[in-house]
């Protein structure tokens, strides 16, 4: 307040226009964290986006009285639409993305005592489903340039007990599917794509989620396609889909409907409701246009940010022809910012009206993982020698470093116009200019 008043006083008193301009620029340049004015006073586009279509869809289900997939048509229709949109042979809707992964591990045959290869840089659900299966999570280090599991290091992690490789198309960027599919075929280990952040992303012009044995999606509230909670699995093998259907329906397969409580196998209830499917169908009318907008804005933002020393936007592999940009990810190097710590950089950015996050912490070194491996069940399931070796090899140095350097912007920030992108870049440049003062403050 004080600086604002004094500036105005100075401006009216100044006779030379040049001096006034200089003073005004100096004030506008002062970081918001140190009391200057914000680069961006207005908020970014809100998420989710909804309108009459969603209202109508919800009321239709409500009044129909058909609220679950057993008697409604929306879940089925959603599965057909999502398969059509992605080019998959088949789709199964699930109650969330975690369930999509959990079902996949079950129908692919991951059993207690098996091993599953996962990245340490992901949402915790990727790890949790492996532990729920009483399997051993084997972490493969991250390629910091792309933020994806480093496919070059996967082969060394495969053992006789490996039953699945689960790459995560993190942030909507795409893992090196050529390399991973090659290893999957060579070692006859199924590939499950965790595409929970990668709706409509593409590898060589074909949608992610259609390359592996299954492809898993989440429709949780933050995701690019959203029904509050929800998920889906894509399949190319109808038999696998039938088994997944039965598993998610307490063991009752489609082939068994109409008979009296006979079961295809053991399972649980992980079904999506008709309400969620109705919302998803309405949201799908918007998704392609939103995806295009995110891509255009991200490209523009990258063109500006890569000119700033110390800022390195995530790279894509050549095969990634469409990035879904669930997250806009970059690496921050404090050396180009007068040693300003990442957390202070994020604070300063937030003060300018640009909310950023530091992203994940390393999953492979969470204490609870070691506790699980030390549990009675795991001690019984795995030879002591194997657990000892796991401990010795469980190091992901590139990922540890990435976790200290990463900066994320959320997908909704890419839904506005080019001016929004210019403000993000402007805020970063402003912080760089004043990094010395910020580092001292």
Q: Which residue is nearest to ligand PLP (CB)?
A: 97
CB 310 to ligand PLP: min, Å: 28
Q: Write out the H or E segment, with its range, that includes residue 330.
A: strand 327-332
CB 194 to ligand PLP: min, Å: 5
| Helices first, then strands: H and E counts in the chain | 16, 15
Residues 140-169 as x/- pattern, contact with ligand PLP by CB under 6 A? ----------------------------x-
Confirm or reject binding of residue 97 to ligand PLP (CB under 6 A): yes
Alpha-carbon distance of 279 to 255, in angstroms, equals 28
Q: Which is nearer to ligand PLP, 190 or 231 (CB)?
A: 231
Q: How far is CA 273 from CA 9, 62, 234, 243, in A?
A: 63, 12, 18, 20
CB 387 to ligand PLP: min, Å: 26
Confirm or reject binding of residue 218 to ligand PLP (CB under 6 A): yes
Alpha-carbon distance of 146 to 191, in angstroms, equals 20
Among the listed residues 86, 96, 146, 364, the single contact to ligand PLP using CB under 6 A: 96
CB 229 to ligand PLP: min, Å: 6
Alpha-carbon distance of 241 to 255, in angstroms, equals 12
Token pair recorded at residue 81: 């639409």
Residues contacting ligand PLP: total by CB under 6 A:
14
Q: Rule CB under 6 A: which of 221-250 touch ligand PLP?
A: 231
Check if the beta carbon of residue 154 is closer than 8 Å to that of residue 183.
yes
CB 262 to ligand PLP: min, Å: 31
Confirm or reject binding of residue 193 to ligand PLP (CB under 6 A): no
CB 100 to ligand PLP: min, Å: 7
Q: Which is nearer to ligand PLP, 37 or 268 (CB)?
A: 268
Which are the contacts of 430, defined by CB distance < 8 A and separation ≥ 6?
29, 31, 39, 352
Which are the contacts of 257, defined by CB distance < 8 A and separation ≥ 6?
none
Q: Which stretch binds ligand PLP (CB under 6 A): 2-10, 77-85, 191-199, 271-279?
A: 191-199
DSSP string across 207-232: ETTSSSSEEEEE--TTSSS-SSS-EE
Q: Give residues in contact with ligand PLP (CB under 6 A).
A: 96-98, 122-123, 125-126, 168, 194, 196-197, 218, 220, 231
């Amino acid at each position: 307040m004080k600086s604002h008043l004094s500036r105005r006083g100075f401006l009216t008193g100044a006779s030379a226009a040049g001096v006034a301009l200089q003073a005004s620029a100096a004030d506008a340049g002062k970081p918001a964290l140190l009391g200057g004015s914000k680069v961006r006073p207005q908020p970014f586009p809100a998420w989710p986006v909804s309108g009459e279509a969603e209202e109508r869809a919800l009321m239709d289900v409500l009044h129909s009285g058909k609220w679950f997939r057993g008697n409604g048509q929306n879940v089925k229709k959603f599965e057909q639409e999502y398969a059509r949109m992605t080019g998959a042979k088949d789709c199964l809707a699930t109650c969330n993305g975690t369930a999509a992964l959990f079902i996949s591990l079950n129908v692919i045959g991951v059993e207690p005592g098996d091993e599953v290869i996962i990245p340490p840089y992901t949402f915790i659900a990727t790890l949790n489903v492996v532990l729920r299966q009483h399997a051993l999570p084997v972490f493969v280090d991250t390629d910091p340039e792309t933020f994806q599991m480093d496919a070059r290091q996967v082969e060394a992690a495969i053992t006789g007990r490996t039953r699945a490789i689960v790459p995560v198309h993190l942030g909507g960027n795409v893992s090196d599917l050529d390399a991973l599919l090659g290893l999957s075929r060579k070692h006859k280990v199924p590939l499950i794509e965790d595409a929970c952040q990668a709706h409509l992303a593409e590898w060589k012009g074909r949608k992610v989620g259609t390359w592996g044995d299954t492809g898993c999606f989440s429709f949780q509230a933050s995701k690019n396609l959203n029904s509050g909670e929800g998920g889906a699995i894509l399949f190319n093998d109808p038999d696998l889909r039938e088994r997944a259907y039965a598993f998610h329906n307490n063991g009752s397969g489609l082939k068994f409907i109409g008979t009296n409580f006979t079961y295809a196998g053991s399972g649980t209830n992980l079904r999506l409701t008709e309400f969620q499917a109705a919302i998803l169908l309405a949201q799908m009318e918007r998704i392609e246009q939103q995806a295009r907008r995110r891509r255009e804005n991200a490209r523009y933002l990258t063109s500006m940010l890569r000119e700033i020393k110390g800022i390195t936007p995530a790279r894509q592999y050549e095969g990634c022809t469409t990035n879904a940009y669930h997250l806009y990810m970059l690496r921050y190097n404090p050396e180009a910012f007068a040693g300003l710590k990442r957390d202070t950089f994020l604070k300063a950015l937030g003060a300018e009206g640009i909310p950023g996050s530091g992203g994940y912490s390393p999953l492979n070194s969470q204490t609870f993982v070691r506790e699980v491996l030390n549990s009675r069940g795991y001690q019984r399931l795995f030879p002591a020698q194997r657990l000892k070796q796991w401990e010795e090899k469980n190091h992901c140095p590139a990922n540890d470093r990435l976790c200290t350097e990463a900066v994320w912007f959320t997908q909704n920030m890419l839904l506005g116009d080019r001016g929004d992108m210019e403000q993000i870049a402007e805020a970063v440049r402003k912080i760089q200019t004043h990094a010395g003062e910020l580092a001292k403050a």
